[in-house]
Chain A
């Protein structure tokens, strides 16, 4: 293993070790916080590996999370937990395969509109489909051992980081970045944009489905409004943009910053004042740091260097 890879491996294993052993010496409040943190890291990473890399910004990611959770939740009565999680991912993937070719035709704001509307439509469809969802009142499902849920979330968070890293450094990832820069040019260069977009979209949605499948075991209860919460879609986008969508570290940095801020300053509620700050943050971000925190910090360093040389 090369020098650099060794360092990266160590950097990754330390937090992993920390998270794995946390339940032993931290209170359940902290462990719960870490669970939320890993949840958002996984979700944001899953979003970023397609939407961030390719520029197909979606604000409806929560829909696939919801599909995964509902699938898993319903099946929990009949099948063991690990299987229901996989089913969550599977159904999510199937829906992505079905809808992908249609919605990936559009881009920019239209993609934005479509993804948002899709998410809302699914929410309303589930509210309407009362036999499955219990309508507005929701439905009770068997909850799972919270420690198990915790470890599964930690695991999927790390898997998402590894997958995001793998994609970024592969030919496939390069293709996505090219699509982001100029889709026509990418097509002209021989990139099969349709295929790449669909695969990226699929992978991203499967992640959301798996995460949803895992989280089905956490609450013991599901209702459409709680799960298909547009706030989750928005938060994921903000966290990815904050950190920087072109890095693997980006979503992690963005997530840690925001979740920590929300938890310790605002008691974990995305309360009105917090959201206002979030809004102002985004505006400042776009104007001063459009590439995200990490790139901004990098650019500060190079500016300082230039200044020294004169």
Chain B
């Protein structure tokens, strides 16, 4: 029987170690930020509580895995495919299901309540469909697991790619939100949807678009995750929790802040893992989440 290490150890850190950890934090943090933004786009604008966010990620990961294993399609190329597929799922689901609860509800709170139930149902369906097709065993593939080294600090190619891609997507979103009429329309719809309608904004289309974008981001994040970690049908929930932590920290609607929040979380995790054991890490992570949510929402 393995006796796990308990408690906290404080080893001596080298400068290169610190740089290494900073790079690793940025890599994982940008992924977290991406997760957060995908969720934020949907929630802040439409008030739909996408608790199945991680499951669209999971779909993306499995799709990438299949394309890679069976057709040898590189995960970089499959990004586009995955984005399209999960994005379309988002748009279609909006048109067929979500729009009904959005219109029927008499208050935003009502939309929230009904939506998490629908997403819960979707979560059950998606996870079990994937399990039926792929079995519940974890799968994995390796791509870009070779390191690039600069000045004694190395980073794996797959993580580097993840960080760059996430940064690009987030930057693109921020630009769209600030500088384009579409982005403005989204901000109006976020602020007051009836007033937005009165400005001439086709709010229905905006909502469908946000769902499409949010789901596409989730899927693409799954594509990236699959490059680095293993995939399993039930992986979704932990990513959903991370995404929610990020948006709670950043505040809904604050897209720039989401980047910061994601990165902070990345730092907290990387440095935190270094000082404790894996088992404790999960507990600490969850405890932090609970504390953050409770403190942040005080008086709400």
A-to-B contact residues, CB < 8 Å: 55, 57, 102-103, 105-110, 112-114, 116-118, 120-121, 124-125, 127-128, 234, 241, 272-273, 275-276, 278-283, 285-287, 290
The chain B residue sitting closest to A272, CB to CB, is: B128
Inter-chain contact B124/A121, CB cutoff 8 Å: no
User: Interface majority SS on B: helix, strand, loop or mixed?
Assistant: helix
Check A117/B294 contact, CB under 8 A, given A112-B51, A286-B121. no
Task: Tell me which residues across on chain B come within 8 A of A286, comparing CB atoms.
Answer: 101, 114, 117-118, 121
CA distance A114 to B287 in the complex (A): 9
Q: Does B116 count as interface, using CB distance less than 8 angstroms?
A: yes
Inter-chain contact A117/B124, CB cutoff 8 Å: no
Check A117/B289 contact, CB under 8 A, given A127-B279, A128-B280, A272-B131. yes
Task: Tell me which residues across on chain A come within 8 A of B51, comparing CB atoms.
Answer: 109, 112
Inter-chain contact B290/A124, CB cutoff 8 Å: no
Q: Does B300 count as interface, using CB distance less than 8 angstroms?
A: yes
* Given pairs A105-B297, A128-B279, 6 additional interface contacts (CB within 8 A): A105-B298, A106-B300, A110-B293, A118-B290, A241-B117, A286-B118
CB distance from A222 to the nearest CB of B (A): 18
Q: Does B109 count as interface, using CB distance less than 8 angstroms?
A: yes
Task: Tell me which residues across on chain B come within 8 A of A118, comparing CB atoms.
Answer: 286, 290
CA distance A5 to B98 in the complex (A): 43
Check A276/B97 contact, CB under 8 A, given A109-B116, A283-B118. no
Check A281/B121 contact, CB under 8 A, given A113-B241, A121-B286, A276-B129. yes
Inter-chain contact B297/A282, CB cutoff 8 Å: no
Check A107/B120 contact, CB under 8 A, given A118-B290, A290-B114. no
Nearest 4 CB-CB pairings of A with B? A279-B124, A282-B121, A279-B125, A121-B286
Inter-chain contact A278/B124, CB cutoff 8 Å: yes
Inter-chain contact A276/B124, CB cutoff 8 Å: yes
CA distance A286 to B297 in the complex (A): 27
CA distance A112 to B128 in the complex (A): 22
8 example contacts (A-B, Cβ-Cβ < 8 A) are as follows A105-B299, A108-B49, A117-B286, A121-B282, A128-B280, A275-B124, A280-B125, A282-B117
- What band does the interface of chain B fall in when counting residues whose beta carbon is under 8 Å from A? 35 or more
CB distance from B279 to the nearest CB of A (A): 5
The chain A residue sitting closest to B298, CB to CB, is: A105
Q: Does B113 count as interface, using CB distance less than 8 angstroms?
A: yes
Q: Does B172 count as interface, using CB distance less than 8 angstroms?
A: no
Task: Tell me which residues across on chain A come within 8 A of B112, comparing CB atoms.
Answer: 108-109
Task: Tell me which residues across on chain B come within 8 A of A280, comparing CB atoms.
Answer: 121, 125
The chain A residue sitting closest to B6, CB to CB, is: A128
CA distance A280 to B118 in the complex (A): 9
Q: Which residue of B126, B287, B289 has the most chain A CB atoms within 10 A of its CB atom? A: B289
The chain B residue sitting closest to A120, CB to CB, is: B286
Choice from B113, B124, B244, B300 contacting A55 with Cβ under 8 Å: B113
Inter-chain contact B290/A114, CB cutoff 8 Å: yes
Choice from A55, A125, A287 contacting B101 with Cβ under 8 Å: A287
